Amino acid sequence: MTIEGELTVRLDWDGRRVRRATLRSTRPFAAPRVLVSRTPGEALRTVPLLFSICAHAQAAAAAGAIEAATGRAGDAATVAAREATVRLETIQEYLWRILIDWPRATGREADVLPVAAARRVIAPVLARLAPIAQRTDGSADDVGVAVPRELAAELARLVTRHVFGVEPVAWLALRDEDALGAWIARTPTAAATLLEELRTRQPALGRSDIGLMRPPLRDELRAAILPAMRSLEGFERTPAWQGVPVETGALARRQSHPLVAAVLARYGNAVATRMVARLAELALVVSCLADSVADHDGERWVDAFPLGDHEGLGVVQTARGLLLHRAQVAEGRVTGYQIVAPTEWNFHPDGALVRGLEGVEATDEAELARDARLAVQALDPCVACRVEVAHA
């Protein structure tokens, strides 16, 4: 059973430009109906079954939220296992987007084999770590939760050959557009080819005035998000940061990286910029994988904290952006549950995708649909998304 639904983007096009973009969602937001009245253990076992994409991130957010609501906290091994599962899942998701979805969105052939190879070597590690990551009783022993160096080395080899053409740490050393252009010129990978096409044909595709949400601190979440989560009906459908739509994901997280910052300064939050940020984050995560997962790069992708008696918030930075789970637990039962997913931030009815597609110039319907699919892929919904072009 899943609760995912789909998105439909409609573009009202007059033959020259998009006059209006609208988004329709059939996402059911069934978490409260499915999880309320269950025991915490039953809820934790159910959550990963509801999501075919980012199930480990959803599980980590649920475990953290329920722990915090019941006055517990994960021990070091449990937290490290959650960090590892989320990062490994992110690598899988990024490889799928870069090697399969990006080429298909432009009518090119997908490069399936390296994605399958990555999933094959990651799967047994995820299977070993997932039971540790999903514990909420604070009883995990001091077991080995580090990602095997052999796995880290194999993933580095895969991305070097099929994505970057150089080692990830070397790609991270690119600092400006000149360096990016030089890398593109000497690299025959699908990622380099698509970036060159975007830079030369439509560099500002998808750009809007929607702000970027940096990974928020706990106090920022309490002040800017929690009151709305508690009081606004339907907040999880149209989340906003202090009332304003924002963009989450790799670009929001990596906007200070020198190369990402340079591209952002020139093109704004366009498709090309988002793809550069995705590449930067993939290179960073793979490069850091063999070291202490929780601490090497100074970041935590998984957090949780109590919001008061019987209420907790789980916070996870996923491949697509910020994921929040808010749980209420009393007398051994879940009494309230709320999930705010990255897709709802970026595919807000007045958010980054819609605003970025309004005004796009195109004289060919097929080309417009192709560009819209690229814009969708750059923001990466966790559900299927259809593009419809209507003549205005």
- Could you read off the pLDDT of 226-259 as tens digits, one per residue? 999 999 988 999 999 999 999 999 999 999 999 9
Spatial separation of the C-alpha atoms in residues 55 and 88, rounded to whole Å: 12
Find out whether 31 and 337 touch, Cβ atoms under 8 Å: yes
pTM: 0.93
Q: 382 to each of 52, 55, 146, 264, how far by Cα in Å?
A: 9, 11, 28, 24
Judged by average pLDDT, the poorest of 28-37, 117-126, 238-247, 376-385 is: 28-37
Q: Domain ranges in the chain? A: 6-136+147-350+362-391
Spatial separation of the C-alpha atoms in residues 158 and 118, rounded to whole Å: 7
Find out whether 229 and 338 touch, Cβ atoms under 8 Å: yes
> What mean pLDDT is reported for the chain?
91
Within 8 A by CB and 6+ apart from 319, the residues are 54, 57, 89, 90, 93, 94, 249, 250, 380
Q: Which pair of structure tokens corresponds to residue 251?
A: 């670009």
- Classified as helix, coil or strand, 306 is strand
Within 8 A by CB and 6+ apart from 131, the residues are none
Class of domain 6-136+147-350+362-391: mainly alpha
- Could you read off the pLDDT of 336-389 as tens digits, one per residue? 999 999 999 999 999 999 999 999 999 999 999 999 999 999 998 888 899 999
What single-letter DSSP state applies at residue 79?
H
Identity of residue 131: P
